[in-house]
Chains A and B, each alone.
Chain A
């Protein structure tokens, strides 16, 4: 008897989306709770943080700092790619639409937001 071998299948491009999903998942698993607590609960209620924490000047300074830009891009883009992959796979499980429609509605949105974030960060200046 000879061993039948599978025809070598075309390489999937899923690794790109999967790595973006993984990076966003890890980033949000390590820092997500802290970030939501700080920007969404502590800062708006003034708990443990000074009044000027949410001031326009402070936010602008952060977004103009190259490191701050990198942090914002990583958080926004990777969080969207993470959600996009999970929502795409779940909607696929639910058979909620054709693959193309689902991809546009998930990966497409993540790509759009990523590009928009880069443009906004550039427009804000250094």
Chain B
């Protein structure tokens, strides 16, 4: 008979090295890397490694997280140079050797892995991120009905969790921080693509400038890094087509935008 297996020792333990970009405002002139050796379950995520560091090695390490299951969009960071969610990135899936962890590219760093999100939230607010009903109906008149095909037209865009990985992947956002960017455009298309919505023109008017869709050069990496397969590049580029037609068709429009 073999020895009874201890549940604790059944979990394979492994040591990983994490190189983390650290920055404390008021103390550091500029960010610099700090290195940590973390021992934990072989199958642990980058987020769990960060939590282990904060619990046992350095309590000052700052990062955002919440759900641990890739739905809240808080723990986006650059892992080995690629924007990813720390909670859904397993250390064992990364190439052997030290793992580099940095705050999301293209955003101002507040502290360690925490970035400023104010400008992104403003952009989301700017595209009227809510249904503007095409026709007003009373409760007695019943709901606004939609077929599965009408829903399929915008469904993927409603899956966005605002994690901003797409912004970190977008070089044109890096060059022009005022560019509306992929995430907010996915939000815009989520409503413009909705058969019940009547705010299309209003939203198109917010993105027809140089900082609107026209800063995009269809690099397309935003869609590749999206953890929810939202395809924000499609949201931006189909609205280039819409905005280009609007450029010429506005002369034929009779009603003026409100």
Contact = CB atoms under 8 A, between A and B. Distances in A.
Direct A/B contact, Cβ within 8 angstroms: yes
Contact of B125 (A5, A9, A18): A5
Contacts of B206: 5-6, 8-9
Interface stretch (B47-55, B64-72, B143-151, B239-247): B239-247
A55 interface: no
B214 A14 contact: yes
Interface in B204-219: 205-206, 208-212, 214, 217
Contacts of B240: 15, 18
A36 interface: no
Interface in A9-48: 9-12, 14-16, 18-19
Contacts of B125: 3-5
Contacts of B210: 9-10, 12, 14
A120 interface: no
Nearest to A8: B205
Interface string B107-142: 000000000000000110110100000000000000
A12 B122 contact: no
Contacts of A3: 125, 128
Question: In terms of DSSP, what is the predominant structure of the interface of chain A?
Answer: loop
A11 B128 contact: no
B220 interface: no
Contacts of A11: 208-209, 247
A93 interface: yes
B193 interface: no
Contact of B211 (A9, A15, A16): A9
A15 B247 contact: yes
B209 A10 contact: yes
B171 interface: yes
Nearest to B247: A15
B243 A15 contact: yes
Contacts of B208: 9, 11-12
B217 A93 contact: yes
A4 B212 contact: no
Given A89-B217, A93-B171, A12 B212 contact: yes
Interface in B154-188: 171, 175
Interface string A88-115: 0100010000000000000000000000
Contacts of A18: 214, 240, 244
Contacts of A6: 122-123, 126, 206
Contacts of A19: 244
B50 to A, nearest CB: 32
B126 A5 contact: yes
Contacts of A10: 209-210
Interface in B238-256: 240, 243-244, 247-248
Contacts of B248: 15
B192 to A, nearest CB: 16
B88 to A, nearest CB: 31
A4 B184 CA distance: 14
Contacts of B243: 15
Given A18-B214, A19-B244, 7 more contacts: A5-B126, A6-B206, A9-B206, A9-B209, A9-B210, A10-B209, A15-B244
30 contacts: A3-B125, A3-B128, A4-B126, A5-B125, A5-B126, A6-B126, A6-B206, A8-B205, A8-B206, A8-B209, A9-B206, A9-B209, A9-B210, A9-B212, A10-B209, A11-B208, A11-B247, A12-B208, A12-B210, A12-B214, A14-B210, A14-B214, A15-B240, A15-B243, A15-B247, A16-B247, A18-B214, A18-B240, A18-B244, A93-B217
